[in-house]
A and B are shown apart, each in its own frame.
Chain A
Amino acid sequence: MWGTNLRILAVVLGTIGLYTLLANAIPQIESEVPEELSFTGDVSPEQLIEAGQELYEGAGGCTACHGLGTRAPNLLLAEADQGPIGARCGERVPGEDCKAYLHRSMVEPQAYVVEGFQPIMPDVSRTLSDAQIWSLIAYLQSQGGEVTVTAADLQASEDAGQDTAGGAAGAATGSATTDPIQLLAEMQCIACHRLGGEGQEVGPPFDGMGSRLSPEEIRTAILDPAASISAGYEQFAGVMPPNFGSRLTAAQLEALVGFLAARE
């Protein structure tokens, strides 16, 4: 009987041991927490680059997509003879310099999606602080380009954040307009929804929306985009920012709902 018990024990412990060894034999990757950064007014580009590189390769989680070059452009390698990201970032959008382009790519990633890739990039401002975002931009600029990020950029972001925090009536759009066309432009809606035959079709087109959805459904879709995903757009679920409820005033929201409901 003891022999049987020992054999069973050996099989059980041997199996557990095998799995434990196997899991320890593969590459060990820990998911780190992005370290909170705090820079003074005399921060040097080198300090920003170093902090940005650490984030890019670690806790920022950037390499999960950008490291491979299959899900998102590989930022560290040359692309189409344009060099790595620091060299090509200034050429991406006419009239937008490298720093502005990279910043917008991070906080409004759907505004410009590189051809051949899906719009899967999240808004990094949901998980990273302004200092972390600017240090990432500095690191990316250093990959083949000139680093133009300075302490002034960090200070400007900080000031803007304070303005918003103490700002009026919660309207974070930057304007109090209730003109739906202007709102659609300010909120970058037409980057993903076609209107008047223009724009990309990452989400359902605004054209004809009033014949497909009731005003109540349109309101829900703006405030809680994950509540219902239109057929045919399932692969883009999660792309639409869920924070319009806090970015629009009630009047702005109703102006948009009324405008879209009238698109029949």
Chain B
Amino acid sequence: MREYGSFPWIGSRTAVWIAAEVHLMFAAFVLGVPMFAVVAEAIGIFGRDERYDRLSKEFTRLLLIAYSATAMWGAVLVFFLTTLYPRFWAHMTEIFEVSMWIYVGLFFVESFTLYLYYYGWERWKSGRAKIGHWTLGILLNVWGTAVLFIADSWLTYMMSPPATVTPDTSPAMVQFWSAFANATWMPINIHRLIANVVFGGSVVAAYAGYRFLSARTDDERAHYDWMGYVGNFIAIGALIVLPFAGYYLGREIYEYNQQMGITMMGGFMSWLWIIQAFLIGVLFLAGNYYLWVGMGRIPGAERFLPYTKWMLLVLILGVIVWSTPHTMIADRAELEAMGGSHHPFLGVLGVMSAKNTAVNLMILTTFLSFLLYRRANRRPVVSWARSGTIVQGGLFVIAAAVVLFYGVYGYFVTAIVRIGFSVYQVLAVLATIVGVIAIDVAMLRGSESRGAIRWGQMPPRSQYALFVLVVTFTWLMGLMGFARSGIRQHWHVWEVMRDTSEWAATPALGYAAQIISVCVIIFLGLIAFIFWLGGLVEKPQLVPKSGDG
């Protein structure tokens, strides 16, 4: 069997890279959107709020037209793999053939469930039929998640094959389940599930932003302003928990193979995390900016505006700390110039104690932004409102204190102890988020309105933040894909099947960035075109232009 094919101009590796990345971007969108579409439909049904039902249908309409593009790019990827990497693909199919058949079957089931879900919307819109329709939405998520989990098993096997598999092991002798449920399978599943929601929310928000900017009537503007807000809320809300899933994945990679973990965080990929920190900083800043500008259309929000400058300060300081380089590969001249293996000043900020503290405070700040936004036009009527607010404030202070305490204490203990501190920091932040939300929900039950949110009265500049968000999320997805795949270095399957092609070397970040940018442009260009086509066919039903949100 020939080992490798050849692709003109860009080479085999880049051809597969682009096909895989663009396929993944579409797949993330079509797997993420059903999750919040079905939640929006549930809010519509059980909250008797028809706006959410219409919103859910519009989400699903975007989904429907993006679906075929996902399948097409998937087919391109499979054909590229079979023709350009036949030896590797034969290895994979010999181990995973059964799961590949199931995958194809699920794809059929998922597609037809989606068709029923969308085209049955108006037919099954009330009573028990509506519950049945909603069940279809749940099934759509079940099939989609199963598809995701199966595909994840293939790519995680490449990263973390079972330790019993060696270069001499025949693929036929590899136990299917040990290859399927390998060391990084579940961490990737969880990370991708959350990331897909983030990504889907940001694409929907950008779509709404575009429709807002091109709206001709106030009703249209109000509808898309609200849709943009919901999309952004979903994206940033899920983003807040994503770093925790990232920690879990990173920890499992280290536990699987220290060398792989070191290559990822401190080897040739170490600079990648500085770029990642910058991008996530942009996400936090743009997401918060959108919320703060959005407060301008909420009566009563003006009382919170003075706090925004302090929140901005925390976010900027957090980004600076998080982006500080520390453990980088340096040559002898660079080491001498720094006076050691670390910069004498920046080295203090670049350690994990400082970075974990920074990111946890950024998450707390962003959560505070959401809370203020949510509270802006509400006046609680419960007798314990003041006490409740004080307790909420206390929870924030306690969480910040715990984060800072362990951040500082981390400088005085060994690395292995310090790693454990991040768990306490994360738990403090998560506990505060859960506790504050629980109090808020109870406290605002039956609350008075300070005035309806003026949907549609949003400055156009706010919508451009939504475009920055979607570009950044998409680019970040490409960057993290490069990190996950690149840490295998010159192995198709880590320490089992060596890449002996002319493209075996893992490129530097500059080249990777160019390919990622090409993928982002292809994806955004295609999805804009697809959405435009969808808009020609059907106009959405608009929601009322004002409401309490």
Q: Does B534 contact A (CB under 8 A)?
A: no
Complex interface: chain B residues within 8 A of A67 (CB): 329-330, 341
* Cα separation A8 to B464 with both chains bound (whole Å): 7
Q: How far is the CA of A17 from the CA of B514 in the complex (A)?
A: 9
Residue of A nearest to B525 (CB): A12
Residues 258-273 of B, flagged 1 when their CB comes within 8 A of A and 0 if not, give 1100110011100100
A26 at the interface (CB under 8 A from B): yes
Check B258 against A19 for contact (C-beta < 8 Å): no
B462 interface hit (Cβ, 8 Å) = no
A19 & B327 in contact (Cβ 8 Å cutoff): no
Asked if B267 contacts A61 (CB within 8 A), the reply is yes
> Which residue in A22, A239, A246 is a CB contact (below 8 Å) of B275?
A22
Contacts of A31 in B (CB 8 A): 263, 267-268, 486, 489-490, 505-506
Asked if A47 CB lies within 8 Å of chain B CBs, one says: no
Does B210 belong to the interface (CB within 8 Å)?
yes
The 8 Å CB contact of A30, one of B475, B499, B506, is: B506
Question: Which of B159-167, B222-230, B239-247, B353-361 makes up part of the contact surface?
Answer: B159-167
User: Which of B256, B263, B467, B505 is A226 in contact with, Cβ under 8 Å?
Assistant: B256
From A120-128, A189-197, A256-264, give the one contacting chain B. A120-128
Query: By the criterion CB–CB under 8 Å, are B467 and A29 in contact?
Result: no
Using known A-B contacts A33-B505, A238-B258, A242-B163, determine if residue A15 contacts B278 with beta carbons closer than 8 Å. Answer: no
A115 at interface (Cβ–Cβ under 8 A)?
A: no
Residue-wise, chain A 124-141 has the 8 Å CB interface mask toward B (1 for contact) of 001100000000000000
Contacts A26-B275, A31-B268, A127-B495; is A61 near B256 (CB within 8 Å)?
no
Interface size class of B (residues with CB under 8 A): 35 or more
Complex alpha-carbon distance, A237 and B252, angstroms: 10
The reply on B346 being an interface residue by CB < 8 A is no
CA distance A8 to B467 in the complex (A): 7
Closest approach, in angstroms, between the C-beta of B126 and any C-beta of chain A? 39
CB-contacts of B470-508 with A (<8 A): 471-472, 475, 486, 489-490, 495, 499, 504-508
Bound-complex Cα distance A29 to B510 (A): 9
A64–B163 CB distance below 8 A = no
B-facing residues in A49-96 (Cβ within 8 Å): 61, 63-65, 67-71, 76
A203 contacts across to B, CB distance below 8 A: none
User: Which single residue of chain A is at the shortest CB-CB distance from B330?
Assistant: A67
- Selected from B258, B267, B279, B512, the residue in CB contact (under 8 A) with A120 is B258
| 11 A-B residue pairings within 8 Å (CB atoms) | A11-B464, A11-B471, A15-B475, A20-B514, A24-B510, A29-B329, A33-B489, A65-B266, A237-B256, A238-B255, A243-B166
Give me the interface of B with A, judged by CB distance under 8 Å: 162-164, 166, 168, 178, 183, 210, 213-214, 254-259, 262-263, 266-268, 271, 274-275, 278-279, 327-330, 332, 341, 416, 464, 467-468, 471-472, 475, 486, 489-490, 495, 499, 504-510, 512-514, 516-517, 520-521, 524
